[in-house]
């Protein structure tokens, strides 16, 4: 068991190393001298040389990489060209909206998708089953921003139930925070819901064909208990796996949703950074998102032991 | 390209054991009869006709500006006068945008970019990922290195990887296509590798190797035909997702420059006035959604007919 956890932890190292090398190369391969960009038009050759020195831009690439990783491990992601402040501080400021949106979306998607998938599997071929399959194809096809604008059009402009755009910090009260987050979270959760519901339906359908389910029914167990205790419990591994894989989809969606709803989070920071060619910020955000994605999937792999007692490493 | 196994290559008993080649004429009949395939293919054909025939479908120059027509309502008959002073009567099917450009013309021409990007990315991802998957699956010594590299790419969420690549190079049609292709390659590679791994143990492959068939011929004649059906199905889904990612990049303002209309950048410009004139977002958005829907329906139909094994697993 401990050996498995250790092996799984070690196997993420090459992936993280690859991500680090790629992110490092973004800045080095991008056209233009970062030192000249920081100093600006008024700088002298001496200024540029000094900045190069302080950024660790001297010497061969592997040495530069080691310097960069060293700074990284101390929490220093470099300095934004545009804001002239540390990338770590910039990210910290923008974390709350993005975390709120992502957490709200995951909760919403799981609460909607899992029951839908279970019911669809229980009534295989019924109207809800077919509606769900149709909805999931639609969910994969309609782009996030089209859904977002369609929802704004209906709920904010026509019905006037919810605010159009913006974000209210949690410190300003839970009410405004929730009402500002409902539409973006609904928008973002659609594709995620489609994905999870589809996999839940498939996994529960498969579990329902197994012998122990037949036994449970034969001994007269209520259908509800059969579904929950015998089918859903056995379908937990694929469902949890797809929730983890779907995080990638969610991260891409966050960038778009924040732009549509004018939420000042990490997604908007990314887009602004690309538009102003602020490479240290681009590096920081991509590194953060990728590491979070890798770590969540690591945790999910480790959780299999809890979800399925048959799995013993 | 022949897709049938050459039975002369095989000893008689191995030929009898060999699974039926994955794509046969009778399979194509099945594909043609499938409702989802017909629906998706018809919709895409109509769209392709719109894209190619855009100049003759009641459009004007999609970049032409008519200051008198700014934010004209959809369905208006009015003269279209461009900056050179040339004027002609025009029907504004979808109205005009905030610069006085005809929205229908921009949407019709925008279809060209979406279809091209979807098609180009699907072809390139299948070629690139297919080659890597084939090498990793067949040559065991390459497997570890290649698949760890693929794992590394898969650790960076698709859209972020595309954004990073676009940010490094100036956005042109080909850099956009490459930036969208690269994140798709690992998934294709994994798919092909898993097929190669299962096929390479088949008796007919062993027989071919025992008969001293050159390696390229083993791969081309005996291994790849097994991969054609799943690759076609996967390519369809890649095509749909590539159209979405292209639109997202354009929508975020980091795609092609607005001089070349794409559905994404039409929406990006339209969102400024969304509250007053939602049609500039909703029309191209509907086109994009219906196009991707058509591609995905086509993909589901192909999956059901070409790849029954996948249907059982994914459905």
Which residues in chain B are closer than 8 Å to A259, comparing Cβ atoms? 251-252
Q: Give A254 or A75, the one with higher predicted confidence.
A: A254
Q: For residue B251, give the nearest of B71, B113, B100 by alpha carbon.
A: B113
The pLDDT value recorded for residue B24 is 58
Who among A14, A137, A248 is closest to B158 (CB)?
A248
> Nearest-CA distance from A15 to chain B in Å?
5
Measured at the CA of B172, the angle between CA A82 and CA B128, to 5 degrees, comes to 110
SS (H, E, C) chain B: CCCCCCHHHCCHHHHHHCCCCCCCHHHHHHHHHCHHHHHHHHHHHHHHHHHHCHHHCCCCCCCCCCHHHCCCCCCEEEEEECCCCCEEEEEECCCECCCCCEHHHHHHHHHHHHHHHHHHHHHHHHHHHHHHHHHHHHCHHHHHHHHHHHHHHHCCCHHHHHHHHHHHCCCCHHHHHHHHHHHHHHHHHHHHHHHHHHHCCCHHHHHHHHCCCCHHHHHHHHHHHHCHHHHHHHHHHHHHHHHHHHHHHHHCCCCCCCCCCCHHHHHHHHHHHCCCCCHHHHHHHHHHHHHHHHHHHHHHHHHHHHCHHHHHHHC
Q: Which of B25, B151, B109, B90 is CA-nearest to residue B284?
A: B109
A142 → closest Cβ in B253, B289, B300: B289
What token pair was written down for A229? 């205790």
B265 to chain A, minimum CA–CA distance in Å? 12
Whether B253 and chain A come into contact, CB under 8 Å, resolves to yes
Q: What pairs with residue A278 in β-bridges? A: none
| The pLDDT of residue A34 is above 80 | no
What are the pLDDT digits (tens) for A188-197? Answer: 998 889 889 8
Least-confidence region, from A132-146, A269-283, A286-300, B57-71: B57-71
In this structure, the number of other CB atoms found within 10 A of the CB of residue A6 comes to: 10
A64 and A186 within one domain: no
Same domain, A73 and A109: no
State both tokens at A12: 């993420």
The Cβ-side half-sphere exposure at B244, using a 13 Å CA radius, reads 31
Residues B83-94: tens digit of each pLDDT:
666 667 766 667
The partner residue sitting opposite A22, judged by closest CB among B156, B166, B285, is B156
Contact indicator for B301, B37 with CB cutoff of 8 Å: yes
Task: Write the residue in A29, A140, A142 that is nearest to B168 by C-beta.
Answer: A29
CA gap B203, B222 in Å, rounded? 11
B118 token code pair: 């979807």
Local confidence band at B119 (pLDDT 50, 70, 90 cut-offs): very high
The total number of structural domains in chain A stands at 2
pLDDT, tens digit (0-9, with 9 covering 90-100), for B126-178 = 999 999 998 888 888 888 888 888 888 888 888 888 888 888 877 788 889 99
Instruction: Please check whether residue A251 touches B, CB under 8 A.
Output: yes
Checking if the pLDDT of A16 tops 60, the result is yes
Q: Are B311 and B304 a contacting pair, CB within 8 Å? A: yes
DSSP per-residue codes, A197-235: HHHHHHHHHHHHTSHHHHHHHHTT--HHHIIIIIIIHHT
Same-domain status, A100 and A53: no
| Domain at A122, CATH number | 1.10.3720.10
Residues in CB range of B272: below 8 A, 6 or more apart: B98
Query: Which one, of B249, B314, B234, B254, lies nearest residue B288 by Cα?
Result: B249
* Res. A53: pLDDT tops 80: no
Q: Would residue A226 count as lying in a domain?
A: yes
Q: Which of A87, A109, A126 is the last residue of a domain?
A: A87
Identify the top-confidence range among A104-108, A241-245, B96-100, B253-257.
A104-108
Tokens representing residue B56 in the block: 């003759």
Q: Average pLDDT of chain A?
A: 82
Quick check: B39 pLDDT over 70? yes
Residue A144 placed within a domain: yes
Task: Say yes or no: A72 and A196 in one domain.
Answer: no
Only one residue has tokens 């029951």, namely A115
Label residue B9 exposed, middle or buried (CB < 10 Å: 0-12, 13-18, 19+): middle
For chains A and B, count residue pairs whose Cβ atoms are closer than 8 Å.
144
Six-digit token pair at A225? 């208990």
Instruction: Answer yes or no: do A37 and A78 share one domain.
Output: yes
Instruction: In whole angstroms, give the CA distance from residue B204 to residue B209.
Output: 9
For residue A312, is it within any domain?
A: no
The pLDDT of residue B212 is 86
Question: Do residue A127 and residue A71 come from a single domain?
Answer: no
pLDDT score, position B230: 86
Closest CA to A209 of A116, A121, A307: A121
Q: Do B247 and A277 make contact, defined as CB atoms within 8 angstroms?
A: no
End residue of a domain, out of A43, A71, A87: A87
Q: Which residues of B fall within a CB distance of 8 Å from A22?
A: 152, 156, 164
Hey, of A18, A266, A282, A295, which one would you mutate to test binding to chain B, going by the most B CBs within 10 A of its CB? A18
pLDDT of A116 above 80: yes
Which residues does A264 contact at the CB level (< 8 Å), separation at least 6?
Answer: A94, A97, A167, A258
Distance between CA atoms of A213 and A216, rounded to whole angstroms? 5
State the pLDDT at residue B6.
40
Percent of chain B with pLDDT over 70: 81
Q: How far is the C-alpha of A41 from the C-alpha of A51, rounded, in Å? A: 14
Is A190 part of a structural domain of the chain?
Answer: yes
**Do B206 and B222 meet the contact criterion of CB atoms below 8 Å apart?**
no
Window 183-212 of A, Cβ < 8 Å to B: 202
Pair (A209, A102) in one structural domain:
yes
Structure tokens at A73: 């491990």
CA–CA dist A275, A269 (Å, integer): 10
Element (H, E) at A28: helix A2-29
Q: Does some domain include residue A32?
A: yes
Name the average pLDDT for chain B: 79
* Helices A279-307/B158-168 angle, 10° precision: 160
CB-CB under 8 Å, A275 with B253:
yes
* Structure confidence by residue, pLDDT tens digits, B260-314: 888 888 888 877 777 777 778 888 888 898 899 899 888 888 888 887 665 444 4
Nearest to A138 by CA among B312, B44, B296, B148: B296
Name the pTM for this structure: 0.83
| pLDDT score for A109 | 92
A115 and A247 both lie in a single domain: yes
Helix/strand/coil for A157: helix
Boundary-marking domain end, from A54, A87, A120: A87
Section A164-179 average pLDDT:
77
**CB under 8 Å to A2, separation ≥6 — which residues?**
none
- Assess whether A233 and A104 both reside in one domain: yes
- Cα-to-chain-centroid distance, residue B158: 15
Whether residues A163 and A80 share a domain: the answer is no
Q: How many Å lie between the alpha carbon of B29 and the closest alpha carbon of chain A?
A: 25
Asked if the C-beta of B163 comes within 8 angstroms of chain A's C-beta atoms, the answer is yes
Inter-chain residue contact A149 with B282, CB threshold 8 Å? yes
Q: Decide: B136 and B147 in contact? Cβ < 8 Å.
A: yes
Residue A250 inside a domain? The answer is yes
User: Closest partner residue to B152 among A18, A140, A252, by Cβ?
Assistant: A18
Percent with pLDDT over 90 in chain A? 4
pLDDT in tens, B198-218: 888 888 888 888 888 888 888
pLDDT digits (tens, 9 = 90+) for B209-252: 888 888 888 888 888 888 888 888 889 989 999 999 999 988 88
Element (H, E) at A94: helix A87-122
Q: Domain range for residue A157?
A: 94-307
Nearest by CB to residue B151, choosing from A15, A146, A247, is A15
3-state secondary structure of A265: coil
Regarding whether A227 and A139 lie in a shared domain, the answer is yes
User: Looking at the domain assignment, is residue A313 inside a domain?
Assistant: no
| Chain B residue with Cα closest to A130 | B315
Can you name the residues that pair with B92 across neighbouring β-strands?
B76
Distance from C-alpha of B121 to C-alpha of B174, rounded to nearest angstrom: 10
Q: Does A273 reside within a domain?
A: yes
Looking at the fold, whether A56 and A136 belong to one and the same domain comes out as no
With bands split at pLDDT 50, 70 and 90, how would you rate the model's confidence at B124?
very high
Q: Rounded to 5 degrees, what are φ and ψ at B53?
A: -90, 15
- pLDDT given for residue B132 in this prediction: 92
Q: Quick check: helix, strand or coil at residue A113?
A: helix
Q: What confidence tier does A41 reach under pLDDT thresholds 50, 70, 90?
A: low
């Amino acid at each position: 068991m401990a050996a498995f956890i250790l092996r799984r932890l070690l196997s993420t190292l090459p992936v993280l190393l690859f991500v680090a090398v790629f992110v490092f190369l973004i800045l080095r391969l991008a056209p233009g001298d970062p030192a000249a960009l920081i100093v600006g038009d008024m700088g002298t050759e001496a200024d540029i040389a000094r900045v190069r020195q302080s950024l660790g831009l001297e010497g061969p690439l592997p040495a530069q990489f080691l310097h960069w990783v060293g700074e990284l491990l101390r929490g220093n992601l470099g300095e934004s060209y545009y804001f002239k402040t540390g990338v770590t501080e910039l990210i910290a400021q923008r974390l709350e909206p993005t975390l709120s949106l992502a957490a709200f979306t995951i909760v919403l998607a799981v609460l909607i998708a899992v029951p839908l998938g279970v019911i669809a599997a229980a009534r295989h071929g019924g109207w809800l089953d077919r509606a769900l399959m149709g909805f999931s194809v639609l969910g994969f096809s309609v782009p996030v921003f089209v859904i977002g604008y369609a929802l704004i059009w209906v709920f904010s402009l026509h019905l006037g139930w919810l605010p159009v755009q913006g974000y209210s910090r949690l410190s300003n009260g839970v009410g405004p925070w929730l009402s500002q987050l409902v539409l973006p979270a609904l928008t973002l959760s659609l594709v995620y819901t489609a994905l999870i519901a589809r996999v839940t339906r498939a996994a529960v359908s498969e579990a329902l064909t197994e012998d122990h389910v037949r036994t449970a029914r034969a001994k007269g167990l209520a259908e509800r208990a059969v579904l929950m205790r015998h089918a859903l419990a056995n379908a937990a591994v694929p469902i949890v796996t797809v929730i983890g894989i779907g995080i990638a989809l969610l991260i891409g969606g966050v960038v778009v949703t924040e732009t549509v709803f004018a939420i000042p989070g990490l997604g908007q920071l990314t887009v602004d950074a690309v538009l102003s060619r602020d490479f240290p910020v681009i590096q920081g955000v991509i590194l953060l998102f990728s590491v979070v994605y890798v770590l969540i999937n690591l945790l999910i792999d480790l959780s299999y032991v809890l979800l399925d007692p048959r799995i013993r490493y | 390209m022949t897709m049938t196994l050459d039975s002369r290559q095989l000893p008689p008993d191995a030929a009898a054991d060999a699974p039926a080649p994955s794509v046969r004429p009778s399979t194509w009949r099945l594909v043609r009869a499938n409702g989802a395939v017909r629906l998706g293919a018809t919709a895409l054909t109509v769209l392709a006709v719109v894209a190619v025939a855009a100049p003759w479908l009641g459009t004007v120059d999609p970049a032409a500006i008519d200051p008198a027509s700014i934010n004209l309502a959809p369905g208006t008959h009015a003269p279209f006068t461009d900056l050179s002073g040339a004027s002609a009567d025009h029907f504004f099917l979808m109205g005009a945008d905030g610069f006085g450009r005809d929205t229908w013309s921009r949407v019709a021409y925008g279809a060209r970019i979406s279809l091209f990007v979807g098609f180009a990315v699907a072809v390139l991802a299948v070629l690139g990922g297919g080659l890597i998957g084939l090498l990793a699956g067949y040559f065991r010594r390459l497997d570890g290195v290649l698949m760890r590299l693929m794992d590394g790419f898969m650790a960076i969420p698709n859209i972020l990887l595309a954004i990073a690549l676009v940010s490094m190079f100036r956005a042109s049609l080909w850099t956009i296509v490459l930036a969208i292709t690269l994140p798709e390659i690992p998934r294709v590679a994994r798919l092909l590798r898993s097929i190669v791994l299962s096929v390479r143990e088949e008796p007919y492959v062993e027989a071919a190797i025992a008969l001293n068939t050159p390696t390229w011929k083993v791969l081309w004649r005996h291994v790849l035909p097994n991969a054609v059906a799943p690759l076609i199905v996967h390519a369809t889904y890649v095509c749909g997702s590539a159209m979405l990612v292209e639109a997202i990049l354009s929508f975020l303002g980091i795609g092609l420059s607005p001089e070349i209309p794409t559905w994404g950048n039409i929406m990006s410009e339209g969102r400024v006035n969304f509250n007053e004139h939602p049609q500039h977002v909703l029309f191209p958005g509907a086109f994009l959604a219906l196009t991707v829907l058509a591609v995905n329906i086509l993909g589901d139909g192909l999956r059901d007919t070409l790849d029954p094994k996948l249907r059982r697993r994914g459905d």
